[in-house]
Amino acid sequence: MSSNQNTYAVIMAGGIGSRFWPMSKESRPKQFLDILGTGRSLIQMTFDRLARLVPAENILVVTQERYRELVAEHLPQLPSENTLCEPFMRNTAPCIAYANHWIANKAGADAADAAVIVAPSDHLILKEDDFLEIAQVALNHTRETTHLVTLGIHPSRPDTGYGYIQFEDLPNVDDQRIRMVKTFTEKPQLELAEQFLASGDFYWNSGIFIWSLANITSAFEAHLPEMQGLFEEHAADFATEREAATIRGIYGECENISIDYGIMEKAPNVAVVLSDFGWSDLGTWGSLHEKLPQDANGNGSAGVSLEITDAEGNVVVSDATAGKKLVALRGLDNFIVVDTQDALLICPKAEEQWIKQLVTQMKAGKQK
């Protein structure tokens, strides 16, 4: 798209997806998995989607150093210099600050007019054409205003695992999907989430952001000045042999903080585009369940051939590489069953928060 030649996309790919154990592991996190059995990993699907909106050479991936080779394996078309490696995890604000300075360096004289899309690598979007249309609406809005834009998702249930955005009318805007953000609420209790849903003026926070490089830079200067100063102080080291050592030093001093807490919840100029494009953050096996093909009894599956009797509401997944694994269930309701080459998980869906606790326990055990 010619109008987006000075537009960049940042794919955040540093997480480990511990709630998706045993398929997602530190050695190969969920963004590098073909969880839906489509033949494409989540990061590949994210790249393909964004490449329809911005020039492929303007897409960059921010990940951990240990995932550099996995990124190259999954995205061989990505220039090696477009993979930015964090020395260790410091949440999303430092990640975005790093990307901002890389973009400013690449854009050069055009940096003042550059626009940026920031997206997680491991989210699912089923209605891609709808997403692209919404993203273009947001891009156009950022070019015409000083707003930082987030994409809000129409809530289908009172989910306590998502953040919520309360919105209000934005005067003098023709497209009524564009509103001003009034408040952010992070993962409310069920009763509050039910009130949000009933009110009609709360949407889920997708974690997908669109802004101009100039406006997000100004926001860092206003709300995270120390972090911005660290990157600006060493700007001359970017795109040189000194970059890796410089980034390690910067990250050693950076605050561990999300872009939501650090900027979006503080800034007075945040807009939201109300959206519904088949989004899921795939944060848990339960969230995957509703996106999987299901039988008449609500059993969702991927990578398996199911033989089921007197069982309903289960999610059954296998990473079997040589065809679909045969899985037989009887008398099992509302369970997660995940089979991999070296692990088997069987857990009630209602208790899936235990999975992350288990991973933490196992990791602590290895460190003893």
pLDDT tens sequence across 271-301: 999 999 999 888 889 888 888 889 999 999 9
Instruction: Round to the nearest angstrom and report the end-to-end CA distance of the chain.
Output: 53
- Domains of the chain in start order, with CATH, are 2-280 (3.90.550.10), 285-367 (no CATH)
pLDDT value, residue 366: 67
The helix-helix angle for 225-233 and 213-223 (nearest 10°) equals 120
pLDDT value, residue 4: 84
The DSSP secondary-structure symbol of 148 reads: E
pLDDT value, residue 2: 43
pLDDT tens sequence across 123-160: 999 999 999 999 999 999 999 999 999 999 999 889 88
In the three-class reduction of DSSP (H, G, I as helix; E, B as strand; rest coil), residue 263 is classed as helix
Report the distance separating Cα 217 and Cα 208, nearest Å: 17
Q: Which two tokens stand for residue 136?
A: 């273009």
Nearest to 87 by CA among 227, 250, 238: 250
Q: Which two tokens stand for residue 228?
A: 């911005």
Rounded to the nearest integer, the mean pLDDT of the chain is 92
Please report, as a single letter, which amino acid is at residue 206.
S
Q: How confident is the prediction along the chain (368 residues), in pLDDT tens digits per residue? A: 446 889 999 999 998 888 889 988 888 899 999 888 788 999 999 999 999 999 999 999 999 999 999 999 999 999 999 999 999 989 999 999 999 999 999 998 899 899 999 999 999 999 999 999 999 999 999 999 999 999 999 998 898 888 999 999 998 888 999 999 999 999 899 999 999 999 999 999 999 999 999 999 999 999 999 999 999 999 889 888 999 999 999 999 999 999 999 999 999 999 999 999 999 888 889 888 888 889 999 999 988 888 999 999 999 998 866 568 899 999 999 999 999 888 999 999 989 889 989 988 988 876 54
User: In sequence order, what are the residues at sequence separation of 6 or more whose Cβ sits closer than 8 angstroms to the Cβ of residue 241?
Assistant: none
Q: How many Cβ atoms sit within 10 Å of the Cβ of residue 191?
A: 10
